[in-house]
């Protein structure tokens, strides 16, 4: 397929279909309504099914049931909707099921607003639902990267049997960019071994029992240890990031998603003026990329955490730097993105 000009939300939906997603359950919320609209229009052409749940609570539990069959399923929502889905996400993670969830973030807390934000970093990476669990979280920063991340999302979801969240923001949902979307074959592994409905084909007609409840302390602890091993494995095998001009940087910006795009423009202006600014852009927010921060040399004077929220990633950045450098935060929220000039000024102030 050649490059076509597409809106972010529609690119997400088409990428999902091209990666083999055939079951979509969701509930409308701005700014991501074009995804369920696109799915309702196009899934039937591919033999798939779109159902509008009565709520996000219902939708995510439809996802749980459908994911338990071993087929490729997806839901999408925006911040307050994701809060309602937290119950189901905890169950899906606890039951070790593969599912893909897109959060096109808007400002909060509460009903907040409908404009773009990155205010759900903590919710996405540190839980949201109950218990010791993690989603694998991707934060792409261009539409082409979003397409690629959406398509590979089921590979990771099945590899780890864990929900994968794509954390986009309202800008990425609503902007238009040329993208290339090609068919992607998802690797589903031994799905028939555990997927519901295959009892007849399993050795010894063994039934599949998918659950998160372990009433015996030792069993629940063992289950949690198993989950933890999986998260550790993600950290070793599938942590992703991008580095820009870090080799000689005196100031390193840490940012992701749309904010990182704006920061890139600021960095190129600053470089023209002789300021040595670089960037580490986490692509996976969980597992978090500690490595590029650990590798930074003493040439670095300062780290600037840049987000569209009140400073949610800063703790992770501080952990990653092990207190070797001063870390400060700059950000806007409520739907305001930091401008290129604001970022430049902030950097100049830091560098003196």
Positions touching other proteins (CB under 8 A) are: 23, 25, 49, 51, 53-55, 57-59, 61-69, 71, 73, 87-88, 91, 95, 196-200, 205, 207-213
Min dist CB 9 to other proteins, Å, is 23
Contact 80, 120 (CB under 8 A): no
Return the number of the residue (39 or 63) whose C-beta is nearest other proteins: 63
In this complex, which beta carbon is closest to other proteins, that of residue 204 or of residue 352?
204
Closer Cβ to other proteins, 57 or 114, answer by number: 57
Among the listed residues 172, 99, 163, the one whose alpha carbon sits nearest the alpha carbon of residue 133: 163
Closest to other proteins by CB, 63 or 102: 63
Helix (H, G, I), strand (E, B) or coil at 249: coil
Question: Residue 179: which H helix or E strand, with range?
Answer: strand 176-179
Is the Cβ of residue 51 or residue 340 nearer to other proteins in the bound state? 51
User: Which of residues 50 and 160 has its CB atom nearest to other proteins in the complex?
Assistant: 50
Residue 265 half-sphere exposure, CB side, CA atoms within 13 Å? Answer: 10
Tell me whether residue 219 is exposed, middle or buried, using C-beta atoms within 10 angstroms of its C-beta: 0 to 12, 13 to 18, 19 or more: exposed
How many C-beta atoms surround the C-beta of residue 161 within 10 A? 21
CB nearer to other proteins: pick between 208 and 328? 208
Q: Are 181 and 147 in contact (CB under 8 A)?
A: yes
Q: Which residue has the tokens 């986009």?
A: 168
* Min separation Cβ 108 and other proteins, Å: 23
Least distance between other proteins and beta carbon 35 (Å): 18
Q: Measured between alpha carbons, how far is 8 from 173 in angstroms, rounded to an integer?
A: 4
What is the pairing mode between strands 251-254 and 302-307?
A: parallel
CB of 206 vs other proteins, minimal distance in Å: 10
CB of 123 to other proteins, least distance (A): 19
For residue 35 the two structure tokens come to 């995804």
Cβ of residue 173: shortest distance to other proteins, in angstroms? Answer: 25
Distance in Å, CB of 158 to other proteins, minimum: 15
Residue (205 or 236) nearer to other proteins, CB: 205
d(CA 29, CA 107): 13
Contact status, residue 177 vs residue 144, Cβ threshold 8 Å = yes
Shortest distance, position 53 Cβ to other proteins, whole Å: 7
Q: Angle, nearest 10°, between helix axes 143-160 and 8-18?
A: 40
Give the C-alpha separation, 104 to 174, whole Å.
10
| d(C-alpha 32, C-alpha 24), whole Å | 14
């Amino acid at each position: 397929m050649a490059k076509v000009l597409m809106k972010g939300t529609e690119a997400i939906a088409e990428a999902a279909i091209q990666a083999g997603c055939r079951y979509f359950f969701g509930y409308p919320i701005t700014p991501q309504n074009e995804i369920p609209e696109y799915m309702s229009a196009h899934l039937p052409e591919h033999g798939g099914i779109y159902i509008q749940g009565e709520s996000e609570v219902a939708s995510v539990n439809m996802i749980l049931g459908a994911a338990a069959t071993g087929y490729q399923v997806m839901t999408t929502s925006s911040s307050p909707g994701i809060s309602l889905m937290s119950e189901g996400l905890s169950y899906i993670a606890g039951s070790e099921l593969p599912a893909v969830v897109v959060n096109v973030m808007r400002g909060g807390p509460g009903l907040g607003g409908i404009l773009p934000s990155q205010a759900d970093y903590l919710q996405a990476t540190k839980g949201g639902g109950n218990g010791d669990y993690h989603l694998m979280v991707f934060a792409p920063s261009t539409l082409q990267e979003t397409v690629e991340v959406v398509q590979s999302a089921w590979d990771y979801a099945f590899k780890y049997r864990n929900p994968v969240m794509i954390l986009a923001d309202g800008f990425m949902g609503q902007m238009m960019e040329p993208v290339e979307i090609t068919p992607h074959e998802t690797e589903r592994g031994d799905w028939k071994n555990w997927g519901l409905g295959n009892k007849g084909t399993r050795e010894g007609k063994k039934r599949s029992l998918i659950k998160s409840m372990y009433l015996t302390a030792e069993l629940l602890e063992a289950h949690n240890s198993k989950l933890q091993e999986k998260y550790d494995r993600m950290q070793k095998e599938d942590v992703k990031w991008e580095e820009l001009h870090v080799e000689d940087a005196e100031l390193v910006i840490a940012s992701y998603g749309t904010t990182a795009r704006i920061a890139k423009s600021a960095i190129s202006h600053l470089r023209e003026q002789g300021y040595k600014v670089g960037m580490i852009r986490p692509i996976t927010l969980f597992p978090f990329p500690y490595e590029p921060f650990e590798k930074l040399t003493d040439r670095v004077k300062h780290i600037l955490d840049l987000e569209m929220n009140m400073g949610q990633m800063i703790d992770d950045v501080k952990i990653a730097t092990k207190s070797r450098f001063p870390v400060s935060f700059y950000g806007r929220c409520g739907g305001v993105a930091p401008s290129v000039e604001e970022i430049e000024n902030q950097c100049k102030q830091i560098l003196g």
